Amino acid sequence: DAMVIQNPRYQVTQFGKPVTLSCSQTLNHNVMYWYQQKSSQAPKLLFHYYDKDFNNEADTPDNFQSRRPNTSFCFLDIRSPGLGDAAMYLCATSREGAPGYTFGSGTRLTVV
Partner 1 sequence: EDQVTQSPEALRLQEGESSSLNCSYTVSGLRGLFWYRQDPGKGPEFLFTLYSAGEEKEKERLKATLTKKESFLHITAPKPEDSATYLCAVQASSGGSYIPTFGRGTSLIVHP
Binding positions for partner 1, rule: CB under 8 A:
4, 6, 31, 40-43, 45, 48, 50, 88, 90, 94, 96, 99-106, 108
C-beta closer to partner 1: residue 43 or 81: 43
| d(C-alpha 2, C-alpha 78), whole Å | 28
Please give the sequence-ordered ranges of beta strands (E in DSSP) within the chain, or none if there are none: 4-7, 10-13, 19-25, 31-37, 44-50, 53-56, 64-67, 73-78, 87-94, 102-103, 107-111
Q: State the nearest-atom distance from the C-beta of 20 to partner 1, in Å.
A: 18
C-beta closer to partner 1: residue 81 or 104: 104
Q: State the nearest-atom distance from the C-beta of 93 to partner 1, in Å.
A: 11
| d(C-alpha 112, C-alpha 107), whole Å | 16
Helices assigned H by DSSP within 7-96: none
C-beta closer to partner 1: residue 4 or 76: 4
Q: State the nearest-atom distance from the C-beta of 94 to partner 1, in Å.
A: 6
